[in-house]
Amino acid sequence: MSETSLPPTERAPGAQPSLSRRSFLNLAGVGAGAAVAVGGRSALAAPATGEPDPNIVPVPEWTKTLGAPVNENPYGKPSVFEKDVVRREVTWLTASSQSSVSFTPLYALDSVITPNGLCFVRHHGGQAEIDPDKYRLMIHGMVDKPLVFTLEDIKRMPGRVNRAYFLECAANSGMEWRGAQLNGCQFTHGMIHNLFYTGVPLKTLLDMAGVNPKGKWVLAEGADAAVMTRSIPLEKAMNDCLVAFAMNGEALRPEQGYPVRLVVPGWEGNMWVKWLRRLKVGDQPWQQREETSKYTDLLADGRSRRFTFVMDAKSVVTSPSPQAPLKRKGPNVLSGIAWSGRGTITRVDVSLDGGRNWTTARLDGPAMPMSMTRFYLDFDWAGQELMVQSRAMDDTGYVQPTKQELRAVRGTNSIYHNNGIQTWLVRSNGETENVEVG
């Protein structure tokens, strides 16, 4: 902390519990379901007693002291009061921290674009550190001219585009197939982020190499120690895939594949190969480990669905949620996110009674195909118990199913593609839990 940063204000005894993000986070903890103070004194800004608000009288220190200089943090950091808004790991989920996942703190975020430093991270062999001058991308296989590109080549390529897309890991909510497990949307739904990518259409590069008419699939390979590989249908590769070098306007973060990653809109995150080094055109899929032994969906009858690339429509209420409990009776803003790999979110309904009755939520901000959409429901809370759910719909007419509906057709062994409706139980004290209802 810099010497010019100010400590949090001391609160006078008997003062209102703060509504600040900081104390909210301290109370919420990490999925601890900590109880919060609700009711009692009114949440109005001005105390009814007529005593002046100590945050107004006397004038706060920060108003009477020079602040930090302009370049205190040459890159920039969030407020010290936001220090708890970070990615988090669930260490017992995986065998090693190099082949693991760190989750997006969805409960603390708003709007539709995920900040670069908070995007969930999934590696299979740790984070590769690639010198951009030594970066090479090779295209070969069933092409007329096998080619090698440098990063500079890609950045000089005509036809650069900007596109906003969500990236969801196929295993997002995978721990919840057999019942409610993890207490917080960061952990149940946090393997997703939504970014503006800058790059060139994959089609441009494939056209330069000249794809053989018999070519039907593209193998994408990463340069990390997992040498991640996935087979992608050529039709998808030529349609909307991007070779991206920037996220939200800056160079890709190393953990997101610096300097170049593949963007495969609407399809499962594992296919978005990071540290992209090779594209090979072929006439059949390669049946790689991540499309056979993993990322296939085992059904109740023992058979397995493969090449389940598309991420179906899904949504989750991010507030209230276990890490973001309700703090006050009266006006409250229920907030959440919805997305569909099949197209654009057209509607989100919210239920406060476990799915018996639904109200259509308000979508705000851009609703773009294969991009995260924000929804709100402004409501008054009288302190009654709530069973909060959200239900997304997309422009293909797909309606997000309940967990029961999903289990009825798939069983509970799928691991991947769990897009069932989430329920949060809000108790009368505001404490919020991950529950299943029936």
Partner 1 sequence: MLKSAEKILAAAVLAGVLAATGIAIADPQPAPGKAVAAKGETDKARQAVNVPAPAAAPAPAAKPIALGRPALAEEITAWNTDVRADGEGLPPGKGSVKEGEELFLQNCAQCHGEFGEGAGRWPVLAGGRGTLKSERPEKTIGSFWPYASTVYDYVHRAMPFGSNMTLSADQTYAIVAYLLNLNDLVPEDYVLSKDNFPKVDLPNEANFFDDDRETSEKAFWKKDPCMKECSGEVHVTARAQILNVTPDGEAPKGNLE
Interface positions, 256-315, toward partner 1 (CB under 8 A): 265, 277-278, 280, 282, 284, 286-289, 292-294, 296, 298, 300-310, 312
Nearest CA to 263 out of 338, 199, 314, 307 is that of: 199
Q: In angstroms, what is the minimal distance from the CB of 380 to partner 1?
A: 20
Residue 89 binds partner 1 (CB under 8 A)? yes
Work out whether strand 276-282 and strand 136-141 pair parallel, antiparallel, or are unpaired. parallel
Among 93, 134, 235, 331, binds partner 1 (CB under 8 A): 93
Q: In angstroms, what is the minimal distance from the CB of 209 to partner 1?
A: 8
Q: Report the site for partner 1 in 138-167 (rule: CB under 8 A).
A: 138-140, 145-149, 153, 156-161, 163-165
Among 254, 355, 428, 429, binds partner 1 (CB under 8 A): 355
User: What residues pair up with 401 in beta bridges, in sequence order?
Assistant: none
If the CB atoms of residues 366 and 383 are measured against partner 1, the closer one turns out to be: 366
Residue 96 binds partner 1 (CB under 8 A)? yes
If the CB atoms of residues 135 and 165 are measured against partner 1, the closer one turns out to be: 165
Q: In angstroms, what is the minimal distance from the CB of 252 to partner 1?
A: 19
Q: Where are the beta strands (DSSP E) in 160-260?
A: 161-168, 192-201, 217-222, 229-233, 242-247, 250-251
Give Cα separations from 233 to 237, 263, 271, 307, 384 (angstroms).
6, 14, 11, 10, 50
Residue 353 binds partner 1 (CB under 8 A)? yes
Rounded to whole angstroms, how far apart are CA atoms 384 and 292? 47
Q: In angstroms, what is the minimal distance from the CB of 311 to partner 1?
A: 11
Span from 57-65, 204-212, 243-251, 333-341 in contact with partner 1 (CB under 8 A)? 204-212
Residue 434 binds partner 1 (CB under 8 A)? yes
Q: Report the site for partner 1 in 171-200 (rule: CB under 8 A).
A: 171, 174-175, 177, 179-184, 187, 200
Q: In angstroms, what is the minimal distance from the CB of 429 to partner 1?
A: 14
Rounded to the nearest angstrom, the gap between the alpha carbon of residue 423 and the centroid of all alpha carbons in its chain is 18
Q: In angstroms, what is the minimal distance from the CB of 416 to partner 1?
A: 10
Residue 33 binds partner 1 (CB under 8 A)? yes
Q: In angstroms, what is the minimal distance from the CB of 136 to partner 1?
A: 8
CB atoms within 10 A of CB 103: 26
* Beta-carbon contacts of residue 225 (< 8 Å; ≥ 6 apart): 98, 125, 126, 128
Residue 94 binds partner 1 (CB under 8 A)? yes
If the CB atoms of residues 101 and 260 are measured against partner 1, the closer one turns out to be: 101
Task: Read off the amino acid at residue 116.
Answer: N
Peptide bond into 322 cis (omega under 30): no
Give the H/E segment covering residue 149.
Answer: strand 147-150
Nearest CA to 361 out of 373, 345, 350 is that of: 350
Q: Report the site for partner 1 in 220-239 (rule: CB under 8 A).
A: 221, 225-227, 229, 239
CA angle, residues 91, 93, 94, in degrees to nearest 5:
85
Helices assigned H by DSSP within 184-297: 185-188, 202-209, 234-239
Residue 101 binds partner 1 (CB under 8 A)? yes
Binding mask of the shown chain, residues 370 to 409, with x at each position contacting partner 1 by CB under 8 A:
xx---------------x---x-x--xxxxxx---x---x
Residue 43 binds partner 1 (CB under 8 A)? no
Helices assigned H by DSSP within 56-103: none
If the CB atoms of residues 16 and 247 are measured against partner 1, the closer one turns out to be: 247
User: What residues pair up with 247 in beta bridges, in sequence order?
Assistant: 197, 250
Residue 32 binds partner 1 (CB under 8 A)? yes
Residue 425 binds partner 1 (CB under 8 A)? yes
If the CB atoms of residues 43 and 175 are measured against partner 1, the closer one turns out to be: 175
Q: In angstroms, what is the minimal distance from the CB of 84 to partner 1?
A: 13
If the CB atoms of residues 16 and 316 are measured against partner 1, the closer one turns out to be: 316
Among 189, 203, 274, 314, binds partner 1 (CB under 8 A): 203
If the CB atoms of residues 43 and 147 are measured against partner 1, the closer one turns out to be: 147
Nearest CA to 436 out of 258, 256, 177, 191 is that of: 177
Nearest CA to 107 out of 321, 372, 362 is that of: 321
If the CB atoms of residues 23 and 98 are measured against partner 1, the closer one turns out to be: 98
Q: Report the site for partner 1 in 44-83 (rule: CB under 8 A).
A: none
Give Cα separations from 16 to 39, 355, 431 (angstroms).
12, 35, 19
Query: Quick check: helix, strand or coil at residue 426?
Result: strand
Rounded to whole angstroms, how far apart are CA atoms 368 and 317? 19
- Count of residues that interact with partner 1, criterion CB under 8 A: 125
